[in-house]
Amino acid sequence: MKMNKIQTKDEIDIMLQNIINQLDLKCRKCRGSCVIRNKKNNFYKRCVFSLCQMEESIFKGSIFYYKKLDKYQVVYILRMWFSRVPVKAISELLYISTNTVFSYLKKALKLIEHKYLNSIGMIGGPNIIVEIDESKFGRRKYYRGHKVEGVWVLGLVERTDKRRIILIPVKDRKSTTLIEIIKKYVHPESIIYTDGWKGYTTIKDNFLIHKSVNHSISFVDFINNVHTNTIEGNWAGVKQDLPIQYRTKDRIMLYLIRFMIKRNRTEDAFEEFIKFLF
């Protein structure tokens, strides 16, 4: 559990100002352009149209708009969680109830999930290998009296120096389910490597090159140098990052997004995370 030093309030304001400056601000009433105003330690947007001039908090609709905690406390919660500090420890360090911490993490998931997944675009490209595999997170068991079913996650990783990765929970491993996600997130001119799972048999209908390795025989096709060791090697790290009680369809996505942002955006990863909470 490694965490950078806690930001000062001035540093938090600077970070939020940088994020706000990147937003496309529109007036909710007339859809005109807005300017940013900083009043009483808060940020507001004001419509520049003289007949409107509507003004409201720029945090409206964001995770910072809820009145229970101020913006600094919210950032402290999110910073600690993003640095893998357990929820109970966050609660004890900040003197905030665990229920409140959980509540803000739930709000974060609601705000970030679709925004982030729609922003990441495609990985791969001409002559780039994309390895694909699926893994079960959790099994049907009881955790502290609650039944935990577990979730299948589809993993897509670029075999490049950046090792860009996409992790998507899936309802099942049927071909139609897997191919729909692969088509959305993988460039059609990519070279696809998978194992021999039957759900991947129709990939060749959508991509130029698809090669597979039969794991019942060997984990590497040494003749053609085909393997899925890159994506399979990531599963241990992803699972280590994900507490058992969060391996459910309702809770897993926020942790997968945290992993993806940290991997795919090495610089200013936390600021990138906060950007999706507006």
Any idea where the domains of the chain sit in the sequence? 129-247
Assess whether pLDDT exceeds 60 at residue 3. no
For residue 219, CA distances in Å to 166, 208, 213, 214 come to: 22, 23, 7, 7
Q: Which range in 3-17, 40-54, 65-79, 177-191 is most confidently predicted, on average pLDDT?
A: 177-191
| Claim: this prediction has a pTM higher than 0.85 | yes
pLDDT tens digit string along 151-199? 999 999 999 999 999 999 999 999 999 999 999 999 999 999 998 889 9
Over residues 103-115, the mean pLDDT reads 93
Count of other CB atoms within 10 angstroms of residue 165: 22
Mean pLDDT of the chain: 88
The whole-number pLDDT of residue 166 equals 98
**Where do runs of H (alpha helix) occur along 29-174?**
71-82, 87-94, 98-119
The CATH architecture to which 129-247 belongs is: 2-Layer Sandwich (3.30)
Lookup: tokens for 34 = 């807005």
Confirm if 6 and 76 have CB atoms less than 8 A apart. yes
Interacting residues of 10 by C-beta distance below 8 A, sequence separation 6+: none
Determine the pLDDT at residue 220.
58
Give 269's contacts (C-beta < 8 A, 6+ positions apart): 82, 261, 262
Give me the pLDDT at residue 213, please: 80
Range with the lowest mean pLDDT among 4-13, 49-58, 124-133, 158-167? 4-13
Query: What pLDDT is recorded for position 5?
Result: 66
- Give the model's pLDDT for residue 143: 54
pLDDT tens per residue across span 186-220: 999 999 999 888 999 899 898 989 888 865 555 55
- Count of alpha carbons within 13 Å of 233, Cβ hemisphere only? 10
The tens digit of pLDDT for each residue in 231-268 reads: 888 999 999 988 888 888 888 999 999 999 999 987 88
Contact 119, 184 (CB under 8 A): no
Are 235 and 135 contacting, i.e. CB atoms less than 8 angstroms apart?
yes
CA distances from 242 to 5, 157, 206, 260 (A): 23, 19, 33, 13
Q: How many CB atoms lie within 10 A of CB 264?
A: 17
Which distant-in-sequence residues (6+ apart) come within 8 Å of 205 by Cβ?
none
Q: To which H or E segment does residue 234 belong?
A: helix 229-240
